[in-house]
Amino acid sequence: MHNPSLTAPTPTSPVIRLLLIIPSLDESGAEKQLALLATGLPRDQFDVRVAVLTRTGPYAEQLTAAGIPIDLLHKRFKFDPVTIWKLRSLIRSWKPDLIHTWLFAGNTYGRLVAGAPSGPPVIVSERCVDSWKARWQLWLDRKLVNRTTLLVGNSQPVVDFYRQFGYDDSRLRVIRNGLPLDPTPPPPHPDRENLRRQWSDNHPDPFIFGFVGRLAPQKRIEDLIWAAELLKSARDNAYLVVAGDGPLRNDLRKFADYFGLQKRVTLLGHRHDARELLTCFDAFALASDFEGQSNSLMEAMGAGLPVLATDIPPNRELVTHDETGIIFPVGERVVLARQINRLAANPEECRRLGTAARQKMLDDFSVDRMVKEYAELYRQTIK
């Protein structure tokens, strides 16, 4: 990690000094997008630095390998005056031309420290329709609007949610997530057939529908388990596999066991090969009641899987019903089970939807497109 005792740029330097501020570098969606952006910006035009408030994580290695400095500030409390002092010292010594903050803590600390008229422009990145926030968090977001240069959402519904806080349209932008994809489909997981046998109790022809992501309440993983229970009476080859960890993992295991689904539902926990695991699935299901723009849904579509996603605005930006996937109402477990059964009975439909989903990602959600849109926004902001 770097010490913030750095030299300032020369007045004639054409390179934009960009400071990204984020709470951690955990293996989650926002952190992934930050790493893709930071490593994708042209080095002859941007000098990028990342300030991490609390802890590093898997994406630190990717950033370091690309030569991007990381400043770890060791935040210990929700409101930590020492972290504010460290961040202020970093900004004063390095003198960034522009600050781009991520997630609630990053957005809050960045605006408190730098979002004054005399400071550099501050772009706030919002990643979700944050109806989950506590009242004090929403109150703070409103109070900091006047310390915000621009707010960028990763989907139109996110921007629409934050418009109510007092932003006019001139200060709102939509830049959608980017997905790193090769022109050719990903190769199968090297242990694909063995894993499928393990997950399906050695069934000769299993249909495996899966989910990859955090096991949190808004993901409604219990709806996927309910669907597995309902499918028992319709077919003997439907199995659910869930990769990810979170506060509900033990409760979800108990829930599945209560219905006698020990052999029908597999909870893998956290996996470093989650992206490769997608090639072991026959379909992907996302039951969330709110999202910003789901990285896991995008990954599944990029892998060429037929996807089932809840009927919420951010998902509808990715999935067109019966064209690039299947949309079903939030909480409608019977509808979900019926649609999974439909896919399991129709391999050609799976191929059609999966092919269209992957093409959608290639056409509209490339990393190059995302990086170019941010680079142009940065240039416009400091003019």
Cβ partners under 8 Å of residue 8, min gap 6: 93, 94, 95
CATH superfamily of domain region 16-178+366-382: Glycogen Phosphorylase B; (3.40.50.2000)
Domain 192-364: assigned CATH number: 3.40.50.2000
- Residue 274 — pLDDT band, cuts 50, 70, 90? confident
Dist CA 173 CA 125 (whole Å): 10
Dist CA 365 CA 362 (whole Å): 6
Distance of CA 355 to the CA centre of its chain: 22
Place of tokens 């290639």: 362
The pair of three-digit structure tokens given for residue 48, joined into one six-digit string: 């990028």
The 10s digit of each residue's pLDDT in 2-17 is: 544 444 444 554 899 9
pLDDT at 362 over 90: yes
Mean pLDDT confidence for 352-358? 98
Domain ranges (residues) in the chain: 16-178+366-382, 192-364
Look at residue 128 in the predicted model and tell me its pLDDT.
Answer: 84
Return left, alpha or beta for 220; rule: phi > 0 is left, psi -120 to 50 is alpha, else beta. left
Give me the percent of the chain exceeding a pLDDT of 90.
Answer: 85
Mean pLDDT confidence for 71-79? 95
Mean pLDDT confidence for 344-352? 98
pLDDT at 251 over 60: yes
Q: Is residue 88 classed as helix, strand or coil in its secondary structure?
A: helix
- The residue among 285, 310, 302, 315 whose CA lies nearest residue 158 is 315
Entry field: residues in the chain: 383
59, 68, 128, 254 from 72: Cα distances, Å: 13, 13, 25, 38
Mean pLDDT confidence for 316-341? 98
Report phi then psi at 129, rounded to 5.
-75, 95
Q: Between vectors from CA 254 to CA 250 and to CA 259, what angle results, nearest 5°?
A: 150
Dist CA 369 CA 35 (whole Å): 15
Q: Give the other-Cβ count within 10 Å of 179's Cβ.
A: 21
- Predicted TM-score of the model (pTM): 0.86
177, 232, 235 from 294: Cα distances, Å: 9, 29, 30
Mean pLDDT confidence for 37-49? 98
Mean pLDDT confidence for 52-73? 96
The 10s digit of each residue's pLDDT in 93-137 is: 999 999 999 999 999 999 999 977 788 999 999 998 776 788 999
Mean pLDDT confidence for 284-304? 94
Dist CA 150 CA 153 (whole Å): 10
Q: Between vectors from CA 311 to CA 104 and to CA 171, what angle results, nearest 5°?
A: 40
Mean pLDDT, all residues of the chain = 93
Look at residue 11 in the predicted model and tell me its pLDDT.
Answer: 52
Look at residue 5 in the predicted model and tell me its pLDDT.
Answer: 43
Dist CA 275 CA 194 (whole Å): 17
- Residue 336 — pLDDT band, cuts 50, 70, 90? very high
pLDDT at 344 over 80: yes
Mean pLDDT confidence for 16-40? 95
Report phi then psi at 288, rounded to 5.
-55, 150
The 10s digit of each residue's pLDDT in 231-240 is: 998 999 999 9
pLDDT at 364 over 70: yes
Mean pLDDT confidence for 182-195? 91
Mean pLDDT confidence for 40-47? 97
Same fold, 16-178+366-382 and 192-364: yes
Cβ partners under 8 Å of residue 214, min gap 6: 28, 244, 245, 246
